[in-house]
Amino acid sequence: MRKYRNKISFHFFSVFVAVFIFFGFEALSLSPDGLSLLAFKSAVDPATMSPTFGNWNENDTTPCAWSGVSCMNISSFADPRVVAVNVAGEGVRAYLPSELGSLVFLRRLNLHGNRLYGPIPAALSNATSLHSIFLYGNNLSGNLPPPLCSLPRLQNLDLSRNSLSGSLPAVLGRCSQLQRLSLASNGFSGEIPAGIWSDLGNLVQLDLSSNGFSGSIPPDLGQLKSLSGTLNLSYNRLSGKIPSSLGDLPVTVSFDLRHNNLSGEIPESGSFANQGPTAFLGNLALCGFPLQKPCKNSSKSSPAQNPDSHSSSSSKKGLKPGLIILISAADAAGVALLGLIVVYIYWKRKDSKSCSCTGKGKLGGGGGRKCGCLGGFPASSSEGESVDGGGGEGDLVAIDKGFTFELDELLRASAYVLGKSGLGIVYKVVLGNGVPVAVRRLGEGGGQRYKEFAAEIQAIGRVRHQNIVRLRAYYWAPDEKLLISDFISHGNLGNALRGRSGQPSPSLSWSTRLKIAKGTARGLAHLHECSPRKYVHGDIKPSNILLDADFNPYISDFGLNRLISLAGSDPSSSGGFIGSALPYTRPAPSDRAHNYRAPDARITGSRPTQKWDVYSYGVVLLEMLTGKPPEISSLSSPSTSSSSAADVSELVRWVRKGFELENPLSDMVDPVLLQEVHAKKEVIAVFHIALACTESDPELRPRMKTVLENLERTGS
């Protein structure tokens, strides 16, 4: 009996030891998520091992403290589970192991900017919680695994800039939650599958550019009602006609169909009306608006459809040479007679309206052109110092005939220096009726270019908009040139954002910033779309966005560099304060124009384009959102410093990296705005607009009209 009891005791002891050993080793061993990540580490070429993997230790019980790994407590699990892996931009050479599919709670996989090779494992589809896969900028090969489309939560799939090949699987339509799909710069071929795009109702970004896709454009792409930004199908081998159904896409969508083999007439319905010619370049067989290349069989130009032109041409063909010569001689005589009459009237008026330099003329009202004496504005004046005096003979010309004042008022009024720069001295002048105006003194040379100057300034004066500083008049004399514009009383956006001391200003609420952003976009869109010449501003920055007492914005300095050139000055600075109430004499360091210029604007000899303005406006938006000026030294976590003048703004790079890493909004947004929790969705929306404006490729930037439409839908 005792021997039997001893056997039982030994048996229980053995079981106890086994259980202890089992649970002891279980407590000390690495979790399954950690083992899956170690499989990835073992796939890395040791010669390219990144410091990120330095603390990926197999002796740990959990990978949650490892660099680039994020975890979260999941109900019904004792240990936290891996939800994000971020080993981006490290340059590591590795293949993707199938063990990554074992991370069943993984939500975000970010391995872009490395040297990953080999295929994308189909087993990755076992990580059913994945909503974002960022593998762009690697050397992955093989096809797009169809099982990826079985991921129920997949929203972001960016596989661009790899070596993937094969055709697009039709099962892509199963990714019903997909919002962003970028397969650009790969080797995909075959036709773009049709009949799947209506199932992708949440898609807001689609980029299939720089592949080898052939065949026609699927008509059901026009059913992507949530699409925004650019539909990019450029640099493929697509052929056939452009389906008119693409006109059903939202009006904010820009097309990029460049460098394909498309043919036929470009439709003009719906969204096509908002596209510029660059969207269709490189398709030699395309014709119609906006390419300015008429279609041969177009009903608009067909002689059969225009009997008047047909009969006219027939009648001209029937004219005899003698009759044609007689008609031409009669036309020439008539033109000559008309010219003599015009010259006679001109000299009669000139004689009747001649005047001496008395300073008694009135600016505005009737003729708008009076002689007068220049009353000073000497360069030696300082702020608060009244100036007066006499000068030489010149012309004071009213641009706005409704703006009336005596020339003596301008010459005798007190003037206060507001600022000095390479673009001239600016004064605040209070007229006799109490109305203040801003007077800019341009220069003393350039007398021989008066006609060019007058033509340019008249064109600028015709630009009228509630968000553009109004030019009222100008004065021209051989030794003096002045511009007279509205005085905007509350400084500029640069001061409002940073204060006089350069520190952030707490006075700008989110609603105020959004108001300024919208008003500036309205003014800029007017310059681009509605002004007589469809102008380019060329120098959008905070100091050129003036504010009144109600924080309504006014774009200033439009056309100023051209006028200064014609006036004979040689500007040495890009700063300028036309219509402004700036208290200092040079731009703040954070307002240097270089920081707001697009990469394509920094290329020597390049011609200004409206996309330059779009980029600059985007940088201004980012400055309003983050509260940070755009130069490198002001950023708390800068990326690699700019080594080339062609680089994008450092602020742009910093914000883009923050979004790629999915940093908290609180890390990027101006702390002043964090108090307005209700505005979070609006802030994010404007961030996306700003990032679209600051694309390095000018063709990917939206038009200001599109930017304005997107902003108008944001907030009240």
Query: DSSP readout, 58-99?
Result: TTSS-GGGSTTEEEE--TT-SS-EEEEEE--SS---BB--GG
Q: Which residues contact 501 (CB under 8 A, 6 or more apart)?
A: none
Burial 125-143 (b: 16+ CB within 10 A, else e): bbbebbbbbbbbbbebbee
| Strands (DSSP E) found in 36-179 | 69-72, 81-86, 108-110, 117-118, 132-134, 139-142, 156-158, 163-166
Structure tokens given for 167: 């055709």
Neighbours of 277 (CB within 10 A): 12
Structure tokens given for 72: 């979260």
The three-state secondary structure class of 643 is coil
Return the axis-axis angle of helices 650-660 and 610-626, rounded to nearest 10°.
Answer: 60
Looking up tokens 């514009």 gives 485
Neighbours of 50 (CB within 10 A): 17
For the chain, how far is it from start to end, CA to CA, in angstroms? 90
> Quick one: which of 427, 443, 527 has its CA closest to 487?
427
> Quick one: which of 178, 225, 218 has its CA closest to 195?
218
Structure tokens given for 62: 């959990």
Query: DSSP readout, 459-506?
Result: HHHT---TTBPPEEEEEEETTEEEEEEEPPTT-BHHHHHH-TTSSPPT
Neighbours of 276 (CB within 10 A): 15
Q: Taking the CA of residue 252 as centre, how many other CA atoms within 13 Å lie in the half-sphere pointing to its CB?
A: 19
Is it true that the peptide bond before 147 is cis, omega within 30 degrees of 0? no
Three-point CA angle 173, 175, 178, nearest 5°: 115
User: CA-to-CA distance for 126 and 301, rounded, in angstroms?
Assistant: 59
Q: Annotated catalytic, 351?
A: no
User: CA-to-CA distance for 589 and 604, rounded, in angstroms?
Assistant: 23
Instruction: Name the maximum alpha-carbon separation found in the chain.
Output: 146
User: CA-to-CA distance for 470 and 462, rounded, in angstroms?
Assistant: 9
Tell me whether residue 634 is exposed, middle or buried, using C-beta atoms within 10 angstroms of its C-beta: 0 to 12, 13 to 18, 19 or more.
middle
Q: Which residues contact 372 (CB under 8 A, 6 or more apart)?
A: 357, 358, 359, 361, 394, 395, 396, 407, 411, 475
Q: Taking the CA of residue 315 as centre, how many other CA atoms within 13 Å lie in the half-sphere pointing to its CB?
A: 6
Neighbours of 384 (CB within 10 A): 8
Question: Where does residue 190 fall: left (phi above 0), alpha (psi -120 to 50 degrees), or beta otherwise?
Answer: left
What is the DSSP code (8-state) at residue 635? -
Catalytic residue (choose from 486, 539, 557, 591): 539
Beta bridge partners of 441: 425, 482
| Strands (DSSP E) found in 293-400 | 362-363, 369-373, 393-398
Contact 153, 174 (CB under 8 A): no
User: CA-to-CA distance for 485 and 418, rounded, in angstroms?
Assistant: 14
Three-point CA angle 684, 687, 689, nearest 5°: 115
Residues with active-site annotation = 539
